[in-house]
Structure 1
Amino acid sequence: MHEFPVPIGGAPLPIDFAPSIVFVVLYALLLPIIIMRVLDRRARCIVLVGTAMFAIEHIVTFSLRAYASRNAGPRVSPTLEQYFQATFGGGFISIGQDVTNLFRALLVSTTFPTAGSEAASPPSAHSAGTSVAMQASSAGSSVDARQSTAPYGGDEEQGKAPSSQQLVCVAQEAHEDQPVLRKHIRTCFGIMSILFLAAVALGIVAGVDFKSALQSGANSDLVRQTRYASAGITVAFLACLLGITVYVLVAVPRVPKFPVLYLCIVCLLIMIVGLYRIGVTTHSTTSLLSTAPGSQNTTREKIAFWILHAAPEWISAAMLLGINCRRTFKTGFWGDRNSDKPVVEV
């Protein structure tokens, strides 16, 4: 008898069969969307490869879980449980990393100069207004000209040169290049991407070492610590990202609001998964099939897994794959390419 950290989601018991099939179907419904994004040149985006692979891989994961829930042998297989823990440990973090890369591309896109300076410059003689030239050609009948054009005051307004107030408004809409800010954004998000990779690695290590912990109790402390570290890093950086998004929404009017709010929702969903994993990791058990409180095999704990771990992951993946991220977040095909030229869609 030895203790080991409880498996996330518990053992695949018969109660897991129905929800496993439901999530197999839900992830399968994302396949046509993934194929459509790959085939459509205007929506194809390399940034979402992690989320797309996660969705495809979870079809396999929940199919195996459904199979194991109906068969006693696979239900207690250390190798199969090792696979479950590894895939559950790294999948949600890959979505968080994709969210970070999308937000980076969105912020970088707003540091490039925008058109408008030409509109703010003094108008040319041609653009000063057609009505002036017409009046000059008919100077001898200015009164008649004014009377004849009186019913068409709206057209004459369109032909007039922009007023000084209009020029100021146009100039305010034009933005200068911000290379220093662009460099800072890329540096900050580059560090976050590296740490997200570390979190993915720690999650996978925790899953791989779970087999040893299950069989002999070896590496139990390592499994627990790497779980804490993986989920903790993810939650911490997503919380930082949420703080940045709140600041952007309040203080940076140049950044479009809808994409920022969209990413905020995905961040919150992934944070739910991370916090759930931190809470579950505090428990230990002495048997994979134990139904004692905290073993993750009780009905209440099973429901908590499907609601707080599986459901937020699927919703996050569906939100990212269901929108044209290339257009919404200005990513282009490669995302932010570390270039000083803005993304130009063709």
Structure 2
Amino acid sequence: MVDFPAPVGGTALPPDFVPSIIFSVLYATLTPLMLYRMFHKRSRSVLLIGTVAFSVERVVIFTLRAIQSRNEGRRLSPGLVTYMQISFGMGFIGIANDIVNLVRCLLVNPTYGFEMYAQSSAAVTKDGLMPDPPIKGTSDHPKLRQWIRRGAGIIALAFFGALVPGILANSNYSKVFTDQHQADMTAHLRVVSTAVALALTIMLFLATLWGKLKLPRITHRGVLVICAMSILIRTTSLLLDSVLDTSSAKAAFYVFHVLPEWLASLILFTDNTRKTFGTGPFGDWRIRDETEKQRKKREAKNAKKNQGQLSLLEDEEIECQNIPAAR
């Protein structure tokens, strides 16, 4: 007899119908918020792409789970079983990657001094929550900024390190019922994937607390958002290997796995992350700071643009003055 790891979320049984419909509807209600955040010019940011994709996919998966709960043929479909395991087991990593990029903006923006602030993502964020731009003489911290960027890049890549074993573990889940070796491998890979994701989430949480203590100009609301998100994601990752088909375990799955994911998505869509984290449209996309040559080129381009706007205003003012004279 094969001792196989329990499916994440358990088998979709008739009692799963109602909660599946509820969460499908809950995720669908996020659609107006998603559209607003992605298309309104004061809040749109590519940094939420992962959470948007995750939320749309959750509408699909809970609809399919509701169908499975009422249809035995669908319930035992190897393809659907595999898809469910990959999605429920690794879906939260999409949100986690967005959090990495938000933390990067949160920590990088306060390191800019007066001279370099114009190249920050906060500088292109209108009405952001970050304190006013640094006054003349504020010190710049390029080395710290570079280390933060490297750290964020490493953590982002490491999340893919959690994704790979998770996909390998769950993509062959339909084989664990007849192959003990495959069952053991799936269990081990799940543990590895969960442990890596949990460790990285804790690192993001600690990095945020460090920023709160060491960076005076950090956005305090951003710190609270990241701390809340880290706790929700940790709750999700801790429950992956503890779900069975009992009623209490299923309740735990929906309360401690599915609900925190929805709350995390809700937080990111209700909060204007562009203003809170000073992300601009593309976040902190720079690999390194501008060189002196690049800075002068940018300043010359901005000066030319501002001069053009000034000339246009002067022309409009002259036209307005000439209208009474013509009459």
TM value normalised by structure 1: 0.75
How many residues are matched? 274
Distance 1:214 1:80, change over 3 A: farther
Report SS of the residue matched to 1:74.
Answer: helix
C-alpha contact 1:89 1:200 (8 A) present in aligned 2: no
- Tell whether the 8 Å contact from 1:30 to 1:318 is kept in structure 2 after alignment: yes
Indicate conservation of the 8 Å contact 2:114/2:135, yes or no. Answer: no
1:93 and 1:171 mapped to 2: Cα distance?
Answer: 35
Aligned to 1:251: 214
AA aligned opposite 2:264: S
Within the alignment, does 1:16 sit opposite 2:16 as a pair? yes
Counterpart in 1 of 2:61? 61
Deviations 1:183-223 (A, max 9, x none): 01001111000001121222222220212213544521221
In 1, distance between residues paired with 2:166 and 2:92?
A: 10
After TM superposition, the structure 1 = structure 2 runs for residues 255-274 of structure 1, keeping only pairs within 5 Å, are: 255-274=218-237
Distance in 2 between residues matched to 1:299 and 1:243, nearest whole Å: 36
Question: Residue 31 of structure 2 aligns with which residue?
Answer: 31
Amino acid at match of 2:71: N
Once the two structures are superposed, residues 231-263 of structure 1 have per-residue CA deviations (whole angstroms, 9 ceiling, x without a partner) of 111111111221222222233322121111111
Rounded to whole Å, the distance in 2 between the matches of 1:35 and 1:240 is: 31
Matches within 5 A, 1:1-346: 1-114=1-114, 175-278=138-241, 280=242, 296-338=244-286, 340=289
Structure 1 unpaired stretches of 5+? 116-169, 281-293
Q: Which amino acid aligns with 1:73?
A: G
CA distance in 1 between partners of 2:137 and 2:176 (Å)? 60
Pair 1:200–1:51, CA change in 2 (3 A): same
Cα deviations by residue, 1:38-59 (Å, 9 ceiling, x for unpaired): 2212211111111110000010
Q: Is the 8 A contact 1:78 1:215 kept in 2?
A: no
User: In the aligned structure 2, how far is the partner of 1:257 from the partner of 1:96?
Assistant: 20
Q: Give the distance between the partners of 2:232 and 2:141, measured in 1 at CA.
A: 32
Whether the 8 Å CA contact 2:239–2:257 is kept in 1: the answer is yes
Query: Structure 1 residue 64: deviation in Å?
Result: 0.3
Rounded to whole Å, the distance in 2 between the matches of 1:171 and 1:76 is 60
CA distances 1:280-327 after superposition (whole Å, capped 9, x unpaired): 2xxxxxxxxxxxxx7x11110110000111000110011112211111
Distance 1:87 1:322 in 2: 24
Question: In structure 2, do the counterparts of structure 1 residues 314 and 174 end up closer, same or farther at CA, with 3 Å as the change threshold?
Answer: farther
- Superposed CA RMSD in Å reads 2.1
* Aligned 8 A contact 1:94 1:200 in 2: no
Identity of aligned residues (%): 37
How far did residue 31 of structure 1 move? 0.9
How has the CA–CA distance of structure 1 residues 68 and 112 changed in structure 2, closer, same or farther, with 3 Å as cutoff? same
**What is the CA-CA distance between 1:111 and the residue it aligns to?**
1.3
**Is this contact kept in 2: 1:111–1:177, CA < 8 A?**
yes
- For 2:52 and 2:140, how far apart are their aligned partners in 1? 34
Consecutive unaligned residues in structure 2, runs of 5 or more: 116-132, 296-301, 303-327
Asked if the contact 1:212/1:218 (under 8 Å) is kept, the reply is no
